[in-house]
Structure 1
Amino acid sequence: MHTQPLILRKDQERRLLAGHCWIYSNEIDIRATPLKTLAPGQPVEILSQSERWIGHGYANPHSLICARIVSRERAQPLSPALWLARLHEALALRERLYTTPYYRLVFGESDGLPGLIVDRYGDRLAVQITTAGMERVRGEILAALEQLLRPTSIVLRNDTSVRELEGLEPGVECVLGEPASDWMLTEQGLEFAIDPMQGQKTGWFFDQAENRARLARYGVGERVLDVCSYIGAWGLRAAALGASEVTCVDSSAGALERLMCNAERNGLAARIRPLQGDAFEVLRELRDQGWRFDTVLLDPPAFIKRRKDEKDGTAAYQRLNRLGLELLEPGGLLVTSSCSFHMGRDGFQRVVQQAGQRAGRRLQLLETGQQGPDHPVHPAIPETAYLKTLFLRALSAS
């Protein structure tokens, strides 16, 4: 597919020159660049209204984010050589950070590969493509990954709803090696089996690994409540740190079944109590039954996926945190997270503080966390900083 010029409207280049790489459809001069002339994934050269060269990228006329910049070097167009170079850069960072090969290898825009996610599970890779531009060069990306890492298996986890915004079909397929229901990883000395074909995300939440490691400095006490536990990353970590009873709450029976298998694998099953159900309903039942915990871990899915969800999502975060605080013993530890970009760090702290007031608790913020360094933040793209994790001590209000 040939490269086509994409001309911006007057004064629309400032944000891009500052480092952002997203171009919205209303920023394009549609007389100079009629959107109907662009095919999904079309390679483009982005130019200002005065024809100042800005970068190489790709376009999708059917998406609100109509184009993305990939390269700012005129001599570095979109090509297999560029993909391989960017993957080398991404791998160099992770090998500097980690002694074991379990991490997010590629984090989209932050690694100069917008629309591409790659998670590494040893010699196996889970790949997610979220844009038409990356879908167009899927074969080149997979070839570059094979050349760089020689994986034994690659699974495409293209079942994210984000693909719908790009007009792409969802799907999951194993494109290298044999499909498998169990891939192994280790974290903080624990072994986990994940499902690369059907598990959430690509099977694991690598973004919380650094925050899970932070639990050790605080201690978790005897009784721990792990809400939205999935397959046990937080809960088994708490058990390994000495908790005698960890109650794990999740809406998915399959996730809890896998959690118990992981607990057996690590010799921790006797300390785990799985509870299936809606998090809000289960927490209300536990509260009304008089349960109390030394540590409460809240790691829910994003309640605010779009700006229009902000009001309802904020209320949901407040309800969940209030319930969690009502279940804490005085002096207990609350570890609470939000992965909603539209819920900023300051806003999340306010929500938790308000939840504390309504629960009759005085809070001390001990530490704040974010996604780990295998999910680097692009300084010019605030959307890449999405995870907030707060470590708080909850005291009686008096």
Structure 2
Amino acid sequence: MQQQLILKSGADRRLKRGRLWIYSNEVDTSRSPLKGIEPGSQCQVLDSRGKALGTAFVNSGQLICARLVSRDGPLEGELLRQRLHSALGMRQRYFPHPSYRLVYGDSDWLPGLVVDRFGDYLVVQVSNWGMERLQEQVIGMLIELVQPKGVLLRNDHQGRAMEEMPLVNEVVFGEVPEMVPFEENGVPLLAPVHAGQKTGWFYDHRDNRARLNQWVKGRKVLDLFSYAGGWGVQALAHGAEQVTCVDASEQALDWCRANAEHNNLADRLQTVRGKAVEVLKAMAADGEKFDIVVLDPPAFIKRRKDQKAGAAAYRHINELAIGLLAKDGLLVSASCSMHLSSDELLDIVRGAAHKLRRPAALLSSCGQGADHPVHPAILETRYLKAHFVHLG
């Protein structure tokens, strides 16, 4: 029999509106003590009057102590298979090439699971104890569904450390090369899945890169925080005259150069190793100018308490980036910080442009791609924003 998690009076309202998360202060611990529940257990959730609301993964040590996985019984067996099949079907409908995020956690009713597909290869990440208990089933079902050549388990990320889960990076099926081939926006690329950040690639900006690609022909482009060249190499493939990729990691720049060589474009690529702020200042001192600057930094606001300092960091780097834009230049200003709204980022860009006396015109505001679908009741699943701003 399933253990039960009983909510306080009124705490069921958000669940009834479709939200899947339960916070520890919403649980009636006098009737259902959290401390006695083993991490990852699937518990039946009841409202204060004893009405069943569904089944949830429970981890009593976290602020979000439970995540609903079903409106009925446990997530396992055929229900788990149906969820994975549904996620695959959605991606196959909207993506002609098998290169995409196949599973995006809560948005696919599979909390704690991320799966990225790179053609014949899968990279799997698990971030909570509930999904950890299902991991073997998940991998077996993915192999049946996709029939990949290899599956890499990238369970070596920060989310697992927060839940005190073991860190693992290993091939669990077949073989997976260090650099796996895939395609984005018609450009053949290589993803460093074993040693790269997260799953090895950031598919979330696919649509934003496609938007930029239509405007790069004959332009001089600066790609800041370039990682493996997602923006820069695609810009080259779509006719940019020259691209300069900047990253603090020499390994990331090696991957960037590998992607340029993979497309026979290395002759138009320059790479600069260094911290973005320092590189921008040095370029400004040298009088360099670019037609397009892509500013796609890591999250400067990882927690709500970092908001003030993070916003200041976004302001500073946007000012420096705008300062390097030639007349009638294009700034792509992005943020993956969930705690910074799209409007707040746009206001930061507006303020930076005003300070530098550059007339600004917003061309487009975009978010994450269709393989990162937003759960309508969990706005935290909408985290990515990118503004395309013309600077006169």
Bin for the TM-score computed over the shorter chain: over 0.9
Q: Is the 8 A contact 2:214 2:238 kept in 1?
A: no
Question: Which residue of structure 2 lines up, in the alignment, with residue 50 of structure 1?
Answer: 49
Which amino acid counterpart does residue 33 of structure 1 have in structure 2? S
**Counterpart of 2:370 in 1: which secondary structure?**
coil
Q: Is the 8 A contact 1:163 1:170 kept in 2?
A: yes
Determine the C-alpha separation between the residues in 2 that align with 1:193 and 1:25. Answer: 42
Q: Is the 8 A contact 1:220 1:294 kept in 2?
A: no
Equivalent positions of 1:1-398 (< 5 A) are 3-72=2-71, 74=72, 76-219=73-216, 221-395=218-392
Q: Is the 8 A contact 1:80 1:141 kept in 2?
A: no
Give the CA deviation at 1:194.
1.4
Q: Percent identity?
A: 46
**Counterpart of 2:317 in 1: which secondary structure?**
helix
Deviations 1:16-42 (A, max 9, x none): 111111111111111111112100001
Q: Is the 8 A contact 1:107 1:117 kept in 2?
A: yes
Report the more deviating stretch, 103-112 or 151-160: 151-160
Give the CA deviation at 1:204.
0.6
Give the CA deviation at 1:201.
1.7
**Counterpart of 2:106 in 1: which secondary structure?**
helix
Determine the C-alpha separation between the residues in 2 that align with 1:323 and 1:378. Answer: 35
Determine the C-alpha separation between the residues in 1 that align with 2:231 and 2:280. Answer: 17
Q: Is the 8 A contact 2:24 2:64 kept in 1?
A: yes
Deviations 1:207-255 (A, max 9, x none): 0011101113334542110001111110011112222211100011001
Give the CA deviation at 1:11.
0.8
Give the CA deviation at 1:167.
2.2
Q: Is the 8 A contact 2:121 2:176 kept in 1?
A: no
RMSD across aligned positions (CA): 1.2
Task: Identify unmatched segments of 5+ residues in structure 2.
Answer: none
Determine the C-alpha separation between the residues in 2 that align with 1:280 and 1:213. Answer: 26
Determine the C-alpha separation between the residues in 2 that align with 1:147 and 1:216. Answer: 36
Give the CA deviation at 1:111.
0.5
Give the CA deviation at 1:317.
0.7
Report the more deviating stretch, 218-227 or 341-350: 218-227
Report the more deviating stretch, 212-221 or 335-344: 212-221
TM-score, structure 1 length as denominator?
A: 0.96
Which amino acid counterpart does residue 130 of structure 1 have in structure 2? S
Task: Identify unmatched segments of 5+ residues in structure 1.
Answer: none
Give the CA deviation at 1:179.
4.5
TM-score, structure 2 length as denominator?
A: 0.98
Determine the C-alpha separation between the residues in 1 that align with 2:2 and 2:9. Answer: 22
Q: Is the 8 A contact 1:22 1:68 kept in 2?
A: yes
Determine the C-alpha separation between the residues in 2 that align with 1:359 and 1:317. Answer: 15
Q: Is the 8 A contact 2:20 2:67 kept in 1?
A: yes
Which amino acid counterpart does residue 27 of structure 2 have in structure 1? I
